[in-house]
Amino acid sequence: MNSGGIALAMVSFFMWGTFPLYWVNTVSVPAFEVLAHRGFWIVPVVLLVVTARRQWPALRAAFRWPNLRWLMVSAVFIAINWGMYVWAVAEQRVTEAALGYYLTPLLNVAMGVLLFGERLSRLKYVALGLAAVGVASVAVLGGHWPWFGIVVGISFACYSSTRKMVKVESLVGLTVESLVLFPVFTIWLALFGDIKWVTTESTAPWLILGGLITALPLLTHVAAARRIPLSLLGMLFFTVPTLQMLCGVWVLGEPFGFAQGIAFGFIWLAVALYVADEYRRSRSKVRLDQVADQPGKTA
């Protein structure tokens, strides 16, 4: 197993998992303005990386219409995801947003069935059912639907599904998405943004560095994906919502009562079944590969 790939994945997931501790420093700024800064400042970061990796030809190819049309759609979904998460931090709903990221791999599975005709094992069907019960239990026991978690999870799953429609490398795709959104965020900041952030506003460093903070986890995630199996990467991803939930409850002091306990109990059980099924599938694939590698034998 590539230990460097696992290390890169954990660095990426640690940054994503501790995002609440970063964005909480911007809660005095309206959520859409924080999103606009995030989308504005990520552009110079990704362009520098594209230049360093000499990927300008790939970037130009990504702007061809068959690619661009899907990347424009995925840009909308990732903007919704970014904005909703920043809003959740501002509203002290980090724990609820973490629930959405627990749901993301399961929602990706559901998207695979609905959009790509993929087949599921019985365990994954049970996992999806348990996840649905977990979400519904918040509405029944807590008196409200966990909308932050639902929108965060669905928007990221829709983003992942849309990106499957176009064969573009991750960094190049993110760069196109950022450039598509850049004019919208730039015009909004020029017309409606608070210009004090360029002088002595205490939130200025947090807003300006938001682009780098957004890009770094993705870059390390891309590097990890090249080194370790995607099934392992998917299982390690669950450290992200776990860290986010711990940040929300232990550091930011959000409540975690009976309703949240029941909901997360169902979600964690669903996640456990998902991970168990992925592990079983990966072990089966390893055994088949070993048989196929033996002289005179085929899988």
Gap between the Cα atoms of 179 and 177, Å rounded: 5
Gap between the Cα atoms of 178 and 156, Å rounded: 16
Q: What is the pLDDT of residues 108-150, one digit of tens each?
A: 888 888 887 878 788 888 988 998 898 888 878 877 888 999 9
- pLDDT at residue 299 in the model: 39
* Lowest-confidence pick of 40-44, 84-88, 169-173: 169-173
Gap between the Cα atoms of 236 and 253, Å rounded: 26
- pLDDT at residue 86 in the model: 94
Gap between the Cα atoms of 77 and 181, Å rounded: 11
pLDDT cut 90: percent of the chain above it:
46
In the structure, what pLDDT confidence band is assigned to residue 197 with cuts at 50, 70 and 90? low
- pLDDT at residue 287 in the model: 56
Q: What is the pLDDT of residues 13-72, one digit of tens each?
A: 999 999 999 999 999 888 999 999 999 999 999 999 999 999 999 999 999 999 999 999
Q: How many CB atoms sit inside 10 A of residue 182's CB?
A: 15
Gap between the Cα atoms of 50 and 57, Å rounded: 10
Mean of the pLDDT values across residues 4-11? 87
Mean of the pLDDT values across residues 66-83? 94
Mean pLDDT across the chain: 86
**Six-digit token string for 42:** 């990520």
Residues whose CB is less than 8 angstroms from the CB of residue 15 and which lie 6 or more positions away in sequence, other chains included: 213, 216, 217, 220
* 231, pLDDT greater than 90: no
Gap between the Cα atoms of 145 and 142, Å rounded: 8
* 198, pLDDT greater than 80: no
In the structure, what pLDDT confidence band is assigned to residue 91 with cuts at 50, 70 and 90? very high
* Lowest-confidence pick of 81-90, 116-125, 226-235, 241-250: 226-235
Q: How many CB atoms sit inside 10 A of residue 230's CB?
A: 10
Q: Where does residue 169 rank: exposed (0-12), middle (13-18), buried (19+ CB within 10 A)?
A: middle
What SS3 string covers the chain? Answer: CCHHHHHHHHHHHHHHHCHHHHHHHHCCCCHHHHHHHHHHHHHHHHHHHHHHCCCHHHHHHHCCHHHHHHHHHHHHHHHHHHHHHHHHHHCCCHHHHHHHHHHHHHHHHHHHHHHHCCCCCHHHHHHHHHHHHHHHHHHHHHCCCCHHHHHHHHHHHHHHHHHCCCCCCHHHHHHHHHHHHHHHHHHHHHHHCCHHHHCCCCCHHHHHCHHHHHHHHHHHHHHHHCCCCHHHHHHHCCHHHHHHHHHHHHHCCCCCCHHHHHHHHHHHHHHHHHHHHHHHHHHHHHHHHHHHHCCCCCC
Q: Where does residue 239 rank: exposed (0-12), middle (13-18), buried (19+ CB within 10 A)?
A: middle
Higher pLDDT, 199 or 285: 285
Gap between the Cα atoms of 110 and 77, Å rounded: 17
Gap between the Cα atoms of 159 and 74, Å rounded: 5
- pLDDT at residue 179 in the model: 97
- pLDDT at residue 298 in the model: 43
* 259, pLDDT greater than 90: no
Higher pLDDT, 11 or 235: 11
Higher pLDDT, 56 or 201: 56
- pLDDT at residue 278 in the model: 80
- pLDDT at residue 152 in the model: 93
Domain ranges of the chain: 3-293
- pLDDT at residue 84 in the model: 95
